[in-house]
Chain A
C-alpha cells in the first residue's frame, strides 16, 4: 500500500475517490455558511431567493452586519479579551519556557506534568472551577474586609483568566520547543563581549525565539477568539462574539450571522497562512 507496491486499478481509483469525498465533506459546511450569507431570505436556509448584499450593508428593514451594533460590539469584546489573553500567555509562556529549559530545581518534571493538566481538563470544568473559586474569594473578601472586587465576579476579567489558564500551556509548549534548539554558546559570546545577562537575553535569545513568540501569539489569539466552553461559564453581561452568535443561532437567526462568519473565515484563513509561513521559515532555518 505504498506507491512502490503495485495496486489494482480499482483500489487506486477507489482510494482517490475516498480522498475527494473526504475533502468535500471537510469544506462543504464552510462553503455553505459563506454562500448563504448572500441569500435574499430571512433565514440561512433554502430556498435560494436570489443574491443580495443586504446581510452586510442594509440598514432599512433588514439589519446588515455593518449596522448590527450588538454583533459588532461582541466582536470588539472578543478582540479585547483575545489581546489580554495573548499578552498574558506569551509573557508567562516565555518565562515558563526559560524555567523548563534553563533552570534546574527539584520537582521540575512534576511541574512540567502539572503544566499539561489544563489540556486534559474539559473547558467546562475549568470554567466552573474558576467561577466558584473566584466567587468564594470575592465573598470572603467582602465578609472579612468589606472589599468589593467586581473583577472576581462573572465578566471579562474572569473570561481572560479562564482562557489564559489553558492557553498558556500551549504557548509554553510552542516557545520551549524553540528555546530547546538555542545554542547557549551564542549567549555566552554576548556575555564575553560585555553584555549583562538581561542584555544578552534581549539582544540574542529573544530575537532567536521571535518566530515561536509570533506563532504562540497567533495561536493564543485564535484560541481565545474562538473559545466557547470556558467562556460560557465565566461570561457576565458583555458577551464575546462566540456567545452572542451561539444564542442567535440557537434561537433562530437571519443570515447576518453568515455574513459575520464569512468575514471571520477570511481573516482566520489569513492568520493560518501567516502562521504557516512563520513556522515554515522556522523549520527551514533550523535545518539549514
Chain B
C-alpha cells in the first residue's frame, strides 16, 4: 500500500518532498541539540589563561575531581536521586496494581484520571503546597504543637528529607502511568494459575507479577531518575540555601559566576552520569530506549 502511494509521485518530486520534510528535523536537531552539545563539550575543554585567552586542556575536569565539594555534590545528588526513585517505585506500585488489577470499568478510569490530575499543575505550585505544609508555621508543625507532641514549632524545610518528599511527590506520575499500563496487560489467569499451583501472595508477586511488570518498572525508574537528577526547582525551594544539588552548581557557574568553561564541564559530567545510569539500567534489563519511550 505504501509503495503504491509513493509510486504515484515522480522521482524528482519525491526527492524534493523528502528534502522538504527532512529540513525542519535536521535544522532542529542540528542547531538546537547536536551543535550546542558539541560546543558545550568543546567549551568544557577550554582553560582560561588570561582575558579572552584560552588554551585546550582538561583543567576544568581536574578541578572538579580536585575540589571535594564538587564531586561530593554529584555523588550526593546521584545517591539521593536513586533513593527518591526507589521510594517512588515502592509507593506507586501498590497504587498502580490496585488501579490496574483490583478495579473495573468506571471506577478504574476515574481513579486513574484522579492519579494523573495533580500533575497538570506546575511543579512550582505543588512545591508551594509542600512549603506551606512543612514550614515552621506550617500545617504539620502547628498540628503537632496543638496536639502537645512538641512544645516549640519545628522547621521541616531545608533538609534532605524535605527534598526527598518533594522529589518523590513530583515524580509520582511518571511512575504510576507506565506501571498501570504494564500491569493492565497482565492476564488475570496467570495470577490465578500461580495460586492454583500452590503459590501464595508473596510468591505470585515475585514470580509472576514483578517479572511481567519489569518493562514498566524500568521505564518508570529511568524517567523518574532523570527528572530527579536534573531537577533544580524542588531542591532549591525545599532544601534551602545549601541544598547542594548538582544542577544548582551548574546554575551558579553559568549564571552567577559567569564561569562558562567550568559550568560546561559540570554540565557534561551531569549528562554523562545520567546517560551512564540510564544505559546501565537498560542493559541490565535488556530494554531499548526506543521501546521504552513509546
Q: Which residues of A contact B (CB under 8 A)?
A: 1-5, 7, 15, 18-19, 22-23, 25-33, 36, 43-47, 91-92, 95-96, 98-99, 102-105, 109, 111-126, 128-134, 136, 161-162, 164-165, 168, 173, 184-185, 187-188, 191, 197, 222, 225-226, 228-229, 232-233, 242, 245-246, 249-250, 257-258, 261, 264-265, 268-269, 271-272, 276
Contacts and interface: CB of A to CB of B under 8 A. Distances in A.
A271 B97 CA distance: 27
A222 B120 contact: yes
Given A29-B169, A30-B125, A268-B122, 9 more contacts: A18-B94, A26-B115, A26-B169, A95-B24, A99-B22, A115-B25, A165-B28, A222-B120, A229-B232
Interface string B1-18: 110111011000000011
A268 B118 contact: no
Interface in B212-264: 226, 229-233, 236-237, 247, 250-251, 254-255, 260, 263-264
Contact of A27 (B104, B118, B142, B254): B118
A98 B19 CA distance: 12
A269 B251 contact: no
Interface stretch (B55-63, B64-72, B131-139): B131-139
Contacts of A5: 191-192, 195
Nearest to A235: B255
Contacts, number: 259
Contacts of A191: 8
A258 B132 CA distance: 10
Nearest to A244: B124
A99 B188 contact: no
B19 to A, nearest CB: 10
Given A131-B254, A229-B231, A268 B120 contact: yes
Give the one of B2, B24, B229 with max A CB within 10 A.
B24
Nearest to A135: B260
Interface of B: 1-2, 4-6, 8-9, 17-18, 21-22, 24-25, 28-29, 32-37, 39-40, 43, 91, 94-95, 97-98, 101-102, 104, 111, 113-118, 120-133, 135, 137-139, 142, 169, 172, 188, 191-192, 195, 201, 204-205, 209, 226, 229-233, 236-237, 247, 250-251, 254-255, 260, 263-264, 267, 270-271, 274-275, 278, 289-290, 293-294
A7 B135 CA distance: 41
Nearest to B138: A45
A154 to B, nearest CB: 9
B204 A133 contact: no
B237 A250 contact: yes
B43 A132 contact: yes
A46 B137 contact: yes
Nearest to B14: A103
A114 B278 contact: no
Nearest to B101: A2
A226 B128 contact: no
Contacts of B201: 1, 7
A237 B260 CA distance: 20
A122 B274 contact: yes
